Amino acid sequence: MRTLLLALTLLLAGCAPHYLKAGDAGRVAPGPPARSVTQHVVLVSVDGLRPDAIDTYGAPTLQRLAREGSFTLRASTILPSKTLPSHTSMLTGVPPEQHGVMWNTVTSRRTDHIAQGTVFGAARARGYVTAAFFSKPKFQPLQLEGSLDYSQAPGGWWGGWKSIKTVADVEHYLSTGKPNLLFVHLPDPDFAGHSSGWMSDAYGRAVHDVDVSLTRLIAASESAFGSGNYTLIVTADHGGHGNDHGSEDPRDVRIPWIVWGRGVKASHLPDDTIRTMDTASTVLWLLGVDEPTDWAGSPVTAAFVSAVAP
């Protein structure tokens, strides 16, 4: 019954997508900074991906990215280790006590608002083109006005669509668009974890599906930006155990953090040193943008050879 209900939810949620396209009127675009490692960053969040699932289920693309890039399987998310609070920290560079998002659902009875500026807004203010592809409607509060040149999320209040649709939409967008910052949310492991359990057979199939979607995303990025002309970061918002997440349990809090592509050196990053807030800081550092002074994250410079001219 839970599986049937989830399938119905996914179908209904996909019927009314929420799109945001930023206009150019009044936009001041001084041009990208010269002191950047890259002019194109692709940030991928795999919702609910436990680090141990990568090798347990033999996800070949994720394994290749870790092998060829810099990675740790012992990065950490915030508490509560829930989707919206975690992604808000990932994309704003600050902890929940600062951004104030302790809730994990968007409701019709409350005006859900995120006041903290995002990595998208900071990059766009410096002349970069930004785009985001969310797979759950709860991300709508992160589609801040004026921060994204293109963005989409499912309509409604709960549910979402799977990575196969999200990546197909990204492929279509990248056939003509070349954003400097592209965020892609892939939800399949989280859906499977809640319906069938983390590390279940269904969860393993979801990890495989995401790995295939990631392969397609890389191919689309290579076509849009050129081989070696972009930097890819793959991480997660949380893990999980049983049929849920949100606790201090290491299975909930521990997340993978993998970076691959332009400027990256092959290395195993020190364990237990990277926090999800560091992701936003690393994105801005790669693009040569100074992070806001109130951010708590730090760029993971140990993963990179040096700042190189694009």
| pLDDT digit string, tens, across residues 272-291 | 999 999 999 999 999 999 99
Query: What would the two tokens of residue 137 be?
Result: 């409607």
Q: Mapping DSSP to helix (H, G, I), strand (E, B) and coil, where does residue 33 land?
A: coil
Domains annotated on the chain, with CATH: 2-303 (3.40.720.10)
Pairing label, strands 41-46, 181-186 = parallel
Which residues sit opposite 259 in a β-bridge?
A: 70, 233
pLDDT at 16: 45
Mean pLDDT, rounded, for 239-268: 97
pLDDT averaged over every residue in the chain = 88
pLDDT at 105: 78
Query: What would the two tokens of residue 96 be?
Result: 């929940």
CB 94 within 8 A of CB 296: yes
Strands annotated E in the chain: 18-21, 41-46, 70-76, 130-133, 150-153, 181-186, 231-235, 254-261, 267-268
Model confidence pLDDT, tens digit, residues 126-168: 999 999 999 999 898 899 999 999 999 998 767 789 999 999 9
Half-sphere CA count of 289, side-chain side, radius 13 A: 28
Which residues sit opposite 138 in a β-bridge?
A: none
CB 119 within 8 A of CB 93: yes
Mean pLDDT, rounded, for 58-71: 98
pLDDT at 297: 96
**Residue 17 scores a pLDDT above 60:** no
pLDDT at 32: 57
**Residue 77 scores a pLDDT above 70:** yes
Mean pLDDT, rounded, for 23-29: 40
